[in-house]
A and B are shown apart, each in its own frame.
Chain A
Amino acid sequence: MKKRIYLDYAATTPIDPRVFGAILPWLKENFGNPSSIHGLGQKALVAIDEARKKLANFLGCQAEEIIFTSSATEANNLAIRGVLKALTLKLKTSKLHLITSQIEHHAVLEPCKKLQKEGVEVTYLPVNKQGLIRISELKRAIKPNTVLVSIMYANNEIGTIQPILEIAKLLKSKSSKLKTKIYFHTDAVQAINYLDCKVNHLGVDLLTLSAHKIYGPKGIGALYLKKGTPILPQILGGGQEQGIRSGTENVAGIVGLGEAINQIKNQKSKIKNLLNLRNKLIDGILRSIPQAKLNGSREDRLPNNANFTIPGAEGEAMVIALDQEGICASTGSACSSRKLEPSHVLLALGLSEEEAHCSLRLTLGRYTQSKEIDQVLKVLPKIVERLRKISGYTKS
């Protein structure tokens, strides 16, 4: 068995050994329910509060502004549906308007589509070829009934980083002009590892994050909810998480998320190192594979993301061939999706369906080594050559 080379960190990350160690006691002897008032229960409650403080510290917010959820998907649903439903009740109108982008994760797009069916107006902002929204377009899209803007911090497929500060600034000035607050939510799942996430600096009212993208366990996420933000709970029950998200807390998951956040130290040298590896990968592929091109902005991009279109080589076939070589990758090709639809992100960049069909995503992480990149650069050109032979590809 070949040694595995994992280059799919945007899909999920391996659990950090320190996180794993921190979780274990909460799956074994410390099994109490935080709602119980006996010692065992209270011990779990304290552990949750400590994790909450770690998140608050990382985001620069109050501990009570953190709501734990089962996933980032749930946090996104809570943010979008929760705010819209609360404002619908408060303002006694369903004719509210929300703005998002065409390249959001499905966990944002699907709740938006559902709200649209329920009568909410939704604008899906396009992006330019670089994968970035235009502030001027956002400005034009804002209407007197706009109440929420949800724009992701960094994209999961192409890694492009949206101008969050500028968006927040615009919304603030528009809010004061229109005399109605426009709330700002950002899905920061991919950004947490690498970018500044101090919520006051960013100027966001809601922010989504997930543990399993930051070397923590699966099944736990969180929503930062600025004090005073109207929200209607989407899961009702025992009133946990200040009544905003009922359900017995995933104590081990929450402890794991807290420890994972604690381990993120955005040391410039580490990010620089990752960036060097990523650039070596991009340059190597563009050099050794004719007609290959990078999708999305190279500058406004997460340091761990590379996404290519390689004409004549279908994405699923590339991923399966790489897998045979022990390399884990991903693609936006329709052939790899459950719904047989090409990546909506790549299409939004203006790529044709054929170009999306021939896409390959490689995402690096904490444990990526230089020799692993060398191995990819050795193997991938041969795979592409073979697949191009199979497809009868000739440069046109």
Chain B
Amino acid sequence: MAIYSKIVIERFLHPRNLGKIKNPDGVGSTENIRCGDIMKIYIKVKKNKIKEIKFETLGCSAAIASSDLICDLAKGKSLAEAKKIGYQDIAKKLGKLPLVKMHCTHLAERALKIAIEDYLKKKR
């Protein structure tokens, strides 16, 4: 028995989208004030689409898995589409997630939205 699904563990052990992006077009940094997890999402945008996306997370396995997964969900999407990615989309893809860990998916959703806002602000 394990508290997490295989998908969460796999993403946690072998994240695919880990790291910084040099000269990113947008950065979304957010902290969960309750548990203290810190998440950063970096994006590169080309022709209004997310061309490249990476993350850094100081947090639990669910937070790491959530940030890795949202990168996959957002990659190649238009900014408008990416903004629509919700925490439910992450939770669904991760499979079984303990209720107390749902806030990790919220954190990932917020980090991406802030990164997109950051890009739009800089563009203006």
Cβ 8 A contact of A334, one of B19, B34, B56, B57: B34
Cβ 8 A contact of A317, one of B2, B36, B59: B59
Q: Which segment, of A13-21, A142-150, A335-343, A365-373, faces chain B?
A: A335-343
Q: Which segment, of B8-16, B44-52, B79-87, B114-122, faces chain A?
A: B8-16
A335 and B60 in contact, given A357-B36, A389-B18 (Cβ under 8 angstroms): yes
Interface string of A292-322 (1 = CB under 8 A from B): 0000000000000000000010101100110
Cβ 8 A contact of A335, one of B13, B37, B56: B37
Q: Determine whether the beta carbon of A317 is less than 8 Å from that of B35.
A: no
Q: Determine whether the beta carbon of A390 is less than 8 Å from that of B18.
A: yes
Q: Determine whether the beta carbon of B35 is less than 8 Å from that of A390.
A: no
Q: Determine whether the beta carbon of B60 is less than 8 Å from that of A336.
A: yes
Q: In the assembly, what is the distance between CA of A357 and CA of B32, in Å?
A: 12
Q: Determine whether the beta carbon of A320 is less than 8 Å from that of B34.
A: no
Q: Determine whether the beta carbon of A334 is less than 8 Å from that of B36.
A: yes
**Smallest CB-CB separation from B67: which chain A residue?**
A390
A320 and B12 in contact, given A314-B37, A357-B36 (Cβ under 8 angstroms): yes
Residues in B neighbouring A321, C-beta threshold 8 A: 12-13, 61
Highest count of chain A CB atoms <10 Å: which of B34, B37, B38: B37
Q: In the assembly, what is the distance between CA of A312 and CA of B59, in Å?
A: 9
Q: Determine whether the beta carbon of A338 is less than 8 Å from that of B58.
A: no
Cβ 8 A contact of B40, one of A314, A336, A354, A392: A392
A317 and B12 in contact, given A342-B36, A354-B36 (Cβ under 8 angstroms): yes
Q: Determine whether the beta carbon of B64 is less than 8 Å from that of A353.
A: no
Residues in A neighbouring B38, C-beta threshold 8 A: 391
Interface string of A111-134 (1 = CB under 8 A from B): 000000000000000000000000
Residues in B neighbouring A323, C-beta threshold 8 A: 2
Cβ 8 A contact of A390, one of B34, B57, B103: B57
Q: Does A176 contact B (CB under 8 A)?
A: no
Q: In the assembly, what is the distance between CA of A158 and CA of B70, in Å?
A: 37
Q: Determine whether the beta carbon of B36 is less than 8 Å from that of A391.
A: no
Q: Determine whether the beta carbon of A320 is less than 8 Å from that of B35.
A: no
**Smallest CB-CB separation from B56: which chain A residue?**
A392
Q: In the assembly, what is the distance between CA of A202 and CA of B19, in Å?
A: 55
Residues in A neighbouring B12, C-beta threshold 8 A: 317, 320-321
Q: In the assembly, what is the distance between CA of A44 and CA of B73, in Å?
A: 64
29 chain-A/chain-B pairs, Cβ below 8 angstroms: A314-B37, A314-B59, A314-B60, A314-B63, A316-B61, A317-B64, A320-B12, A320-B60, A321-B61, A333-B35, A333-B60, A334-B34, A335-B36, A338-B100, A340-B34, A340-B103, A342-B36, A353-B36, A357-B35, A390-B15, A390-B58, A391-B38, A391-B57, A391-B58, A391-B59, A392-B20, A392-B40, A392-B58, A393-B58
Known A321-B12, A393-B58; further 7 A-B contacts with Cβ < 8 A? A317-B63, A333-B35, A333-B60, A334-B34, A335-B36, A357-B37, A390-B64
Residues of chain A whose beta carbon lies under 8 Å from any beta carbon of chain B:
312, 314, 316-317, 320-321, 323-324, 333-336, 338, 340, 342, 353-354, 357, 389-393
Residues of chain B whose beta carbon lies under 8 Å from any beta carbon of chain A:
2, 4, 9, 12-13, 15, 18-20, 34-38, 40, 56-61, 63-64, 100, 103
The list of the 10 closest CB pairs from A to B, nearest first, reads A392-B56, A391-B58, A316-B60, A335-B60, A334-B35, A320-B61, A357-B36, A340-B35, A340-B34, A335-B35
